[in-house]
Amino acid sequence: MVTVLANATRYAEAYALLDGLVAALPAVRDPPTRQRIQSNAASLYAQAGQIELALRYADQMLAAADSDAIACQAQYYRMLALSQRADGAFEAGYPEALARCTQANDGLYANSIRVLAAERYLDHKQPVAADAALQRHLAEIDRIGYPALSEEVQATLARIAWAQGNGERARALALQAAKTGSNSVALIAASQVLYEIAQTKGDAADALHWYIRYADAEKGHLNDLSARALAYQQIHQQVQEKKAQLVTLRQRNQVLELQRTVDRRSRTEIELAIALLLVVLGSIGLYAWRTKRSERKFQKLAQRDGLTGILNRQHFIERVRAELGYCAKSLREACLIAIDLDHFKQINDSHGHAAGDSALLAAVAACQRHLRSVDLFGRMGGEEFAILLPDTVPERAADIAEAMRAQIVALGDAPDSPGFPLSASFGIAAARVSGYELQHLLAHADGALYRAKREGRNRVVRHDPATDPGADGPPQGFRERRKATHS
């Protein structure tokens, strides 16, 4: 039932039922039943972003595994959870996980782990290692005949081919992966590759088509992740409230017993009972306050990037869409800045990922010095960032971006310098030209960023409809209504 409810996107019911199963787990003595509960918990908690919970039940399953097949499943769930962490835990556990699934002769789980590893390599700009993880096993993946796995492999191979400069192969693989669109993760990756290929060729119509496919697929995927996370949070909060109610009822019963006793005691005893009653009521208030604080902390963590503390991609997109909607109603100006740190892969390769993380933190801090409280700053992935500046004209946005660029370059000469030069490229798109649809603003800011990269990096480029392909005109009536508003 947990699996059926989750597949039907009835996530709140699925997590409520799973909570009951997990609560009953200590009393379950039948090993297969325990393994099913643990595998459901590891899978659903990983999909809700609850990494530590997913690891707890995957590790329980692994510790009690009575066969290679069960150990292989447990290792897959561990890798699924660890693939969401930025540390090296995935890389450390990858050889053992793959060995257990190879020993179990389970091609589905083994190749699913390889796909996770290949995507991880690609995120770290290592296409050769990603290709090596998959190439020798393509025939085996075809024999398995699992559509979702096949689509994800094709999309990953398309990303690899594009990263290695093989545009024709990348396009063919991406078209095949995007053909059915049944796997949202594969469709997102394939559409992004096809968009970048079309943009490189200067085919504006094809680029816009695939960018819309990419944006729609990503929006659906993010909505699904949000629904899972929200359902988990709601059920988790309901459970905490029920526990608090039980504690409150027990304490009220104790208070009633005290009141009965007080009726038969002296004044001194009455005063002592009142003091005890105040302590009990204070503990109830403290428990309620801690529960509320934990809920707020969870909500904040769900909205922030774990390394830099700025908005994560999912929450940034939600906030920006809402802000652009407000701007569109009164035709207020707004600008979007796309940022990409230059030669970031070389920093990771030469100085290590810890140095790369320090560079990201320093660059984010440098940018934040030039932002207002109303500006939205988000991490889009890896070394890529975006900023929305409401009520800001393009000329002012260019000045702000230039100040950020100079501040990042100056980090190399600062007393607490990271020990290597650092620079970034900036692309700017304005609502007066691109309109208020986020996908168009992102596409145009991204195109300007590509120009900045091609022209030598470490520079600020504004989207220009006269030179950039696929530019939309300004929203109808924009200039006329702006004049009327100011008059």
Per-residue pLDDT reduced to its tens digit, 208-246: 999 998 888 888 777 776 667 666 776 766 666 666 666
The 10s digit of each residue's pLDDT in 150-199 is 888 989 999 999 999 999 999 999 898 888 766 778 889 899 999 999 99
Percent of the chain scoring above 90 in pLDDT = 46
Query: CA distances (Å), 445 to each of 40, 139, 317, 429, 462, in order?
Result: 42, 40, 15, 5, 8
Between CA 200 and CA 447 the distance in angstroms is 10
Kindly report each contact of residues 343-350 with a partner whose C-beta sits within 8 Å and lies 24 or more positions away, as own/partner.
343/423, 343/457, 344/125, 344/382, 344/383, 345/124, 345/125, 347/420, 347/422, 348/124, 348/125, 350/420
The stretch 375-403 carries a mean pLDDT of: 95
Band the pLDDT of 364: cuts 50, 70, 90.
very high
Residue type, 400: I
- Residue 196 in tokens: 């970048």
Contact between residue 86 and residue 307 where contact means Cβ atoms under 8 Å apart:
yes
Spatial distance between the Cα atoms of 125 and 163, rounded to a whole number of angstroms: 8
Under DSSP, the state recorded for 413 is G
Question: Angle 167-177/147-163 helices, nearest 10 degrees?
Answer: 160
Which pair of tokens denotes residue 384?
A: 């890529």
The pLDDT tens digits for 251-295 are 777 777 777 766 666 666 667 767 777 877 777 777 666 756 655
Q: How far apart are CA 154 and CA 160, in angstroms?
A: 10
343 secondary structure, DSSP code: T
The pLDDT of residue 370 is 96
pLDDT at 148: 87
Q: In whole angstroms, what is the distance from residue 54 CA to residue 52 CA?
A: 5
Residue that is written with structure tokens 């079309």 in the block:
198
Instruction: Locate 380 and state its tokens.
Output: 């889009």
Asked whether the domain spanning 313-486 has the same topology as the one spanning 2-181, the reply is no
Largest CA distance in the chain: 93
What mean pLDDT do residues 340-357 have?
Answer: 89
| 346-361 CB burial, b ≥16 within 10 A, e <16 | ebbeeeeeeebebbbe
d(CA 125, CA 284): 52
**pLDDT for position 241:** 63
What's the CA gap between 73 and 60, in Å, rounded? 12
Closest CA to 153 of 177, 171, 169: 177
Is residue 468 helix, strand or coil? coil
SS3 53: helix
Q: Are the beta carbons of 328 and 436 closer than 8 angstroms?
A: yes
d(CA 335, CA 106): 51
Average confidence score pLDDT of the chain: 84
Residue 478's pLDDT is what? Answer: 36
CB 128 within 8 A of CB 99: no
Amino acid at 24: A
The H or E element spanning position 271 is: helix 267-303
**Distance between CA 100 and CA 117 in Å, rounded?**
15
The pLDDT of residue 297 is above 60: no
Mean pLDDT of 356-385: 93
The residue-averaged pLDDT of 346-370 equals 91
Strand order in the sheet with 376-381: 376-381, 384-390, 334-341, 424-430, 460-462
Residue 48 binned pLDDT confidence (cut-offs 50, 70, 90):
confident
2-181, CATH topology level:
1.25.40
Domain boundaries, the chain: 2-181, 227-303, 313-486
Confidence of residue 304 (pLDDT cuts 50, 70, 90): confident
Chain length of the chain: 487
Pick from 76-90, 301-315, 347-361, 457-471: least confident: 457-471
The pairing of strands 424-430 and 334-341 is: antiparallel
Give me the pLDDT at residue 483, please: 36
What the block records as the tokens of 323 is: 């802000």
| Closest alpha carbon to 133 in 159, 164, 157 | 157
Q: Are 84 and 49 in contact (CB under 8 A)?
A: yes
pLDDT band with cut points at 50, 70 and 90 for residue 469: low
* Domain covering 313-486, topology: Alpha-Beta Plaits (3.30.70)
Q: Which of 236-240, 352-356, 399-403 has the lowest mean pLDDT?
A: 236-240
CB count within 10 Å of CB 57 equals 25
Q: Look at phi and psi of residue 167 and say left if phi exceeds 0, alpha if psi is from -120 to 50, else beta.
A: alpha
User: Cα 453 to the chain's mean position, in Å?
Assistant: 26
Residues 6+ apart with CB under 8 A from 326: 332, 390
Q: For residue 45, what are the contacts with CB-CB under 8 A and spacing of at least 6?
A: 51, 53, 54, 57, 81, 232
The answer to whether 451 and 468 are in contact (CB under 8 A) is yes
Distances (CA, A) of 101 to 32, 104, 114, 185, 448: 19, 5, 11, 23, 45
What is the pLDDT at residue 482?
35
Residue 479 clears pLDDT 60, i.e. is over it: no
- Residues 392, 388: Cα–Cα separation, whole Å: 9
For the chain, helix (H) and strand (E) counts, in that order, are 21, 5
